[in-house]
Chain A
Amino acid sequence: MTAVAKQTPAPAILSVADLAVGFARRDGGTAPAVRGVSFDLHRGEVLALVGESGCGKSATALALIGLLARTARVGGRVDFGGRNLLQLPEREWESIRGRRIAMIFQDPMSSLDPLYRIGDQIAEVLRQHLNLSPAALAARIRELLVLVGIPDPDLRLRQYPHQLSGGQRQRVVIAMALACDPEIIIADEPTTALDVTIQAQIIDLLSQLNRRIGMAMIFISHDLGVVSRIAHRVAVMYAGQLVESGPCERVLQAPAHPYTRGLLASVPAAGMAPKTPLQAIPGMVPDMARLPPGCAFRNRCAQAHDVCQTPPPLETHTPGRAARCWLAAQESRI
């Protein structure tokens, strides 16, 4: 498989195999959201899941922490700590969520309970999982606020969410995620709702925390610019499938899948000449309920040809890199 890391093959702490998520529709059918996604996450690694809205990246994330809606149907395996998380009863999930796998959400303005003080919201996760004395609890909350770079922590922990700015609230959310030293943090578009300058600060913070504390992270984003600043490895998703994966800088420098190339061309770069048109990917994300046969990207791909009517497999073409495209397979063979 693609579990070959660059130099040191660290053991995978989380292994996702053939994950499938579908949502029950009113008419009794199932709308697929994730269609057979497999990847490994290694200790200390930042893996970015990249794709447009609706490509299944958030559904993947929620499946990994057991927070999908009750109407969701899930298949495949997620191995973590010697167990398949997808078959975990709700009671056992409670000892994993927040303790061993934590999550950071997209919109800091709405992800804190408006009725509780910041300190109490952080305390909740600590009380749930660790048996700390009141003094140790207070010390830990303060330590966490300092760790995520909130100035004046003693004041902040007594305040309510509406008294903090968006960037500070996201720092609080990060502090809650870090509280119990989880092995994995899932960050679902943690900077999308923030101003650009704050975005950069939060990315730096996450990147720094990853280096200092060494927890692994699944970083979900649609923004390759942001991803390039933090991820070690990238997995690109399209229409519920992985279409390309590999080490971050190599995928971004030499993308193997036409979709990845399209995503890269649509990122505005700071050094770009003014008024340079951005290359949008033509067409729209296909309706997942009515996918065309063959390659899902076929309708929007400039290089599509006859063979694309047969669905391409996700193939490793260079060690550590895989792509779901007939072209990439050909190029690597030449």
Chain B
Amino acid sequence: MNYYIRRIIVALLTVLVSSSLVFFAIRILPGDPVLMRLGESAATPEVVAQMAARLGMDVPVPVQYLHWLGGLVQFDFGNSIATGRPVAEELVKRLPRSLELMAGGILVSLCIGIPLGVVAARRPDSLIGHTASVVALVGLSAPTFVKGLILIILFSITLGWLPSSGYTPFLQDPAANLRAMILPSLTLGLGFAGVVQRVTRASLAETLNRDYVRTVRAKGVSERRAVYRHALPNAMIPVISVVGMRIGSMLGGMVVIESLFNWPGLSSYLIEACYARDYPAIQASLFIIFLVFSFISLTMDVLMGVINPRRRDV
């Protein structure tokens, strides 16, 4: 228990430090949000000063930082420079959409990656084993927009089965929401399935040769049981840690998919904010991404303890 409390404190500190780094880093970048907002030609020094004062950017950066920290504690991320509306409002709308897409992508990647990995590990020198690895490699190495376009051409344009873009809130129309989710989830999941397949294959190939699996076989249980009840659960331990690490980076990396499928999620918001040098929006989006990342790695840690009894005594 002690261990997890320590982990939570470390995670919160990490989020704080990385968010602070972001705060200063974006202010070093070229491009002034005030000028961008006003348009460089029209801006007289008086207007610029007025606008800077309204945005709270007329004080020194350390003071701005303290203001920002003060707001953070109350989950007040300030107002967007681009729209003038509270950033938090926008985040509350967009985060669930990205999380939903992420969950769909992970589900797809596990459902494809694990079986392909098992096949490749159990029959390493057979045609089916090689095929599994090649399929996974193609999924992994094909660029996201290519996979996305192929899926759109195939399933929405040619076959007309699924919508090619758009988002319907789940509460408004669950069926439409899920239908719209399928293609982006597949696009996201196919690439990640390649990673899952490779880790599963390597890890299972190793556990299949472990002494305890031989012990299980010597008990006279079926090969099936030896693989699925003993070798595979042990092989899942590295898979979980790899998935956990990659999930976090997924959230920020869904830009291509969100714009391809016109999915109004967090990544597309972050990109817009970057173009506009919308400091509060950038800071808030990254803060949320860091927070989700930490939360997921913490969850993975707990999950690992559930699977692996050796971890519980740490």
Chain A positions within 8 Å of B, measured between CB atoms, are 65, 67, 90, 93-99, 102-103, 105, 107, 110-116, 124-125, 128-129, 160, 162-163, 173, 176
Contacts and interface: CB of A to CB of B under 8 A. Distances in A.
B219 A114 contact: no
B223 A110 contact: no
> Which has the most chain A C-beta neighbours within 10 Å: B216, B218, B313?
B218
Given A105-B211, A105-B214, A160-B309, A114 B234 contact: yes
A114 B309 contact: yes
Nearest to A97: B220
Nearest to B223: A90
B63 to A, nearest CB: 54
B103 interface: no
22 contacts: A65-B218, A97-B217, A97-B218, A97-B219, A98-B218, A98-B221, A103-B215, A105-B214, A110-B210, A110-B212, A111-B212, A111-B214, A112-B212, A112-B215, A113-B215, A113-B216, A114-B212, A115-B307, A115-B309, A124-B221, A128-B221, A163-B313
A173 B211 CA distance: 12
Nearest to A99: B220
> Which has the most chain B C-beta neighbours within 10 Å: A90, A99, A124, A162?
A124
B309 A162 contact: yes
B308 interface: yes
Contacts of B213: 113
Main secondary structure of the interface of B (DSSP, over half): helix
Interface of B: 210-223, 230, 233-234, 307-310, 313
B212 A93 contact: no
B222 A94 contact: yes
B265 to A, nearest CB: 37
Given A98-B219, A114-B212, A173-B215, 7 more contacts: A97-B218, A98-B220, A105-B214, A110-B212, A112-B212, A114-B310, A115-B309
Contact of B211 (A90, A97, A99, A110): A110
A29 B219 CA distance: 32
> Which has the most chain B C-beta neighbours within 10 Å: A94, A98, A113, A125?
A113
Contacts of B221: 94, 98, 124-125, 128
B308 A114 contact: yes
Contacts of A173: 215
A125 B226 CA distance: 12
Contacts of B211: 105, 107, 110-111
B220 A67 contact: no
B212 A94 contact: no
A176 B217 CA distance: 12
B260 to A, nearest CB: 41
A113 B220 contact: no
A113 B217 contact: no
Contacts of A99: 220
